[in-house]
């Protein structure tokens, strides 16, 4: 555009120089030759008339050229302003696209990190449940042993009571038996309470794992939607630079609607 304006300026300068020298030639008096004197001055009048008409014609042409040049300059200036405005809009749109892509990429990275953390927590709670199941089996085995021991002690005490003839000895044995029975009963009740507490904890952990599985499924679905949005934005970015900003807003709105559903 600068070269075009420079070319017009050079052309205009050459035309001005040509008009200037033609005016000088018209204004300079012509030398009279004998043949001019013989014709009685008719030739000089015709020459003056022709030179005057040439001067008027050149002046009119110069005026028309100036008008045309002014119109061309105004048209070029308007076109340049429109082009600069379009470039400014395109830069704004490209900046917004880059910011949107960065935001979506950051969101996807956060979701992937959350997904990895959720997987680690799920593995940890699985290990805790397995350990609690093993501990519960050990507790059940210990309770069974205590029951067998209690029955053996009771049978032995009954046998001693039957074969004891002394009343004092019988009272002592009876008291000892009652104390041992009471202690064994307390121990069994404590073990049962502990087993019930462990069972409640296991049920709570199972519910928590089920909830974590549902959250994991929802997060994976959201991550897939965000990846699709990134692919769509990438394909839109590689198209023409003068794409309409309204179509981009419509695409983002559709993506958000899909994410909400």
Give tens-digit pLDDT for 81-99.
888 888 888 888 888 888 8
Which residue do the tokens 């009652």 mark? 178
Q: Is the pLDDT of residue 186 over 60?
A: yes
Residue 180's pLDDT band, with cuts at 50, 70 and 90, is: confident
pLDDT higher for 101 or 39? 101
Cα–Cα distance between 162 and 170 in angstroms, integer? 9
- Is the model's pTM score more than 0.85? no
- Round to whole Å and give the CA distance between 218 and 216: 5
Rounded (10°) CA dihedral 122, 125, 131, 137: -100
> How many Cα atoms occupy the beta-carbon half-sphere of 121 within 13 Å?
15
Higher pLDDT, 159 or 144: 144
CB 30 within 8 A of CB 44: yes
Could you tell me the two tokens for 197?
């507490």
Across 21-50, b (16+ Cβ under 10 Å) vs e yields: eeeeeeeeeeeeeeeeeeeeeebeeeeeee
For residue 259, pLDDT over 70 is answered with no
For the chain, the average pLDDT equals 71
Distances (CA, A) of 245 to 95, 157, 229, 242: 12, 95, 17, 9
**The pLDDT of residue 239:** 60
Measured distance between the N- and C-terminal CA atoms of the chain, rounded to whole angstroms? 52
**Could you tell me how many helices (H) and strands (E) the chain has, helices first?**
5, 0
The 10 Å Cβ neighbour count of residue 189 is 10
The token duo for 187 is 């121990």
Window from 102-106, 138-142, 163-167 with minimum mean pLDDT: 163-167
Confidence of residue 14 (pLDDT cuts 50, 70, 90): low
**Which pLDDT value is given to residue 43?**
54
Percent of the chain with pLDDT over 70: 66
Q: Output DSSP code: residue 240.
A: -
């Amino acid at each position: 555009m600068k070269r075009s304006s420079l070319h017009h300026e050079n052309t205009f300068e050459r035309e001005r120089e040509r008009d200037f020298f033609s005016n000088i030639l018209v204004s300079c008096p012509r030398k009279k030759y004998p043949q001019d004197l013989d014709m009685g001055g008719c030739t000089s009048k015709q020459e003056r008339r022709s030179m005057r008409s040439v001067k008027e014609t050149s002046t009119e042409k110069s005026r028309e050229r100036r008008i045309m040049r002014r119109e061309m300059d105004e048209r070029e200036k308007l076109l340049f302003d429109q082009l600069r405005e379009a470039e400014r809009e395109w830069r704004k749109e490209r900046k917004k696209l880059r910011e949107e892509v960065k935001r979506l990429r950051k969101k996807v990275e956060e979701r992937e990190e959350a997904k990895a953390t959720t997987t680690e927590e799920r593995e940890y709670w699985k290990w805790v449940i397995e350990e609690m199941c093993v501990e519960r089996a050990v507790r059940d085995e210990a309770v069974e042993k205590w029951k067998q021991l209690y029955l053996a002690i009771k049978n032995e005490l009954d046998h001693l009571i039957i074969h004891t003839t002394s009343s004092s000895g019988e009272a002592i044995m009876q008291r000892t038996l009652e104390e041992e029975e009471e202690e064994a009963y307390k121990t069994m009740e404590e073990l049962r309470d502990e087993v019930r507490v462990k069972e409640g904890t296991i049920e709570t952990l199972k519910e928590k794992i089920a909830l974590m599985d549902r959250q994991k499924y929802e997060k994976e679905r959201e991550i897939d939607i965000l990846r699709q949005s990134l692919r769509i934005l990438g394909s839109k970015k590689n198209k023409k630079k003068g794409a309409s900003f309204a179509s981009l807003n419509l695409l983002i709105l559709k993506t958000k609607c899909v994410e909400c559903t």
